[in-house]
């Protein structure tokens, strides 16, 4: 039987059910690379790049999503904004996942103390990295995380006490490690085997760059990169762990869902805004030109 906190973690509940979870990403980029809209992650979520709890609420009210990733690595999101975004997402019934800038214990602690249901760590290269991260996410005796935040428990329900949070958080928070370098690919089976690691997330663009097969033409990938992604997926499955991948469109996300990935991103906020405004402007321009031609 899941604990009350596990039951409150929508992402974990969805993963344990065996279905693909979809999400979004909240971030902030000055100008998204032209290929960004061709990326996806297998879980109902959005990539959040623009700061602001109101934006978090807007994304979290999107139907068919399970989680929102608040990106503090590449996103323009400060520590105080991250706390507000986590609270807003959790209040809407979705799981807030925080991508930290690096696998530093204090960064992980800040994300979990804000009440994140999951923490995502970039640039993991070795099993030793994975063990250090896992230790930082767990309370003793399983790890080294300190107890003290008055804000974390409420993101799992209004009646969760600090004592209950201490007892259940180790099992109720999702630890996601990004596999995006040649070194990580070489050690992926050892990384996957580390206790306390729940999900291996493929970062296809950085992985492609690292192994000498960058993604340069939209969604097109070299066979070697496809093989690397398949290797990561297989290593996670062999270790009884889940797999995730970053995507930039629902179509690409569906493709990885069909391959058995468990957590997939369908869009990020900047790309969504750019796409919607672009389509609206194009529709308006076409109508204006048509009216002009008719008037002539």
Active site residues: 74
Q: How far apart are CA 130 and CA 127, in angstroms?
A: 5
d(Cα 247, Cα 257) in Å, to the nearest integer? 11
Name the strand (E) or helix (H) holding 107: helix 105-113
Q: Could you tell me which of 271, 237, 265 has the C-alpha nearest to residue 252?
A: 265
Task: Report residue 200: phi and psi, to 5°.
Answer: -105, 125
What is the rounded radius of gyration, in angstroms, for the C-alpha atoms of the chain? 19
The closest alpha carbon to 57, from 8, 22, 92, belongs to 92
DSSP string, 46-90: EEE-S--HHHHHHHHTSTT--EEEEESSSS---HHHHHHHHHHHH
Cite the DSSP H helix spans in 187-268. Answer: 188-192, 204-210, 223-238, 250-258
Helices and strands in the chain, H and E counts: 13, 10
Distance separating alpha carbons of residues 266 and 247, to the nearest angstrom = 6
């Amino acid at each position: 039987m899941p604990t009350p906190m596990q039951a409150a973690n929508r992402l974990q509940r969805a993963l344990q059910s065996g279905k693909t979870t979809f999400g979004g990403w909240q971030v902030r980029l000055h100008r998204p690379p032209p290929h960004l809209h061709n990326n996806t992650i297998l879980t109902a979520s959005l990539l959040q790049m623009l700061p602001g709890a109101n934006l978090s609420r807007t994304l979290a009210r999107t139907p068919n999503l399970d989680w929102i990733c608040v990106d503090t690595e590449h996103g323009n999101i400060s520590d105080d904004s991250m706390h507000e975004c986590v609270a807003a997402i959790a209040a809407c019934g979705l799981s807030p996942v925080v991508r930290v800038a690096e696998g530093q214990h204090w960064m992980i602690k800040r994300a979990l103390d804000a009440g994140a249901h999951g923490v995502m760590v970039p640039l993991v290269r070795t099993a030793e990295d994975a063990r250090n991260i896992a230790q930082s996410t767990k309370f003793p005796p399983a790890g080294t995380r300190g107890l003290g935040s008055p804000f974390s428990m409420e993101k799992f329900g209004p009646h969760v006490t600090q004592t209950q949070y201490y007892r259940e958080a180790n099992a109720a928070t999702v630890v996601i490690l990004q596999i995006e370098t040649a070194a990580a690919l070489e050690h992926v089976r050892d990384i996957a085997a580390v206790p306390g690691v729940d999900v291996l997330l493929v970062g296809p663009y950085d992985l492609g760059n690292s192994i000498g097969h960058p993604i340069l033409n939209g969604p097109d990938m070299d066979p070697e990169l496809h093989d690397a992604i398949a290797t990561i997926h297989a290593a996670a499955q062999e270790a009884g762990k889940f797999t995730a991948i970053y995507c930039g469109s629902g179509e690409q996300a569906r493709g990885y869902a069909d391959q058995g990935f468990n957590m997939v991103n369908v869009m990020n906020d900047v790309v969504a805004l750019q796409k919607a405004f672009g389509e609206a402007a194009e529709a308006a321009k076409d109508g204006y030109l048509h009216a002009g031609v008719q008037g002539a």
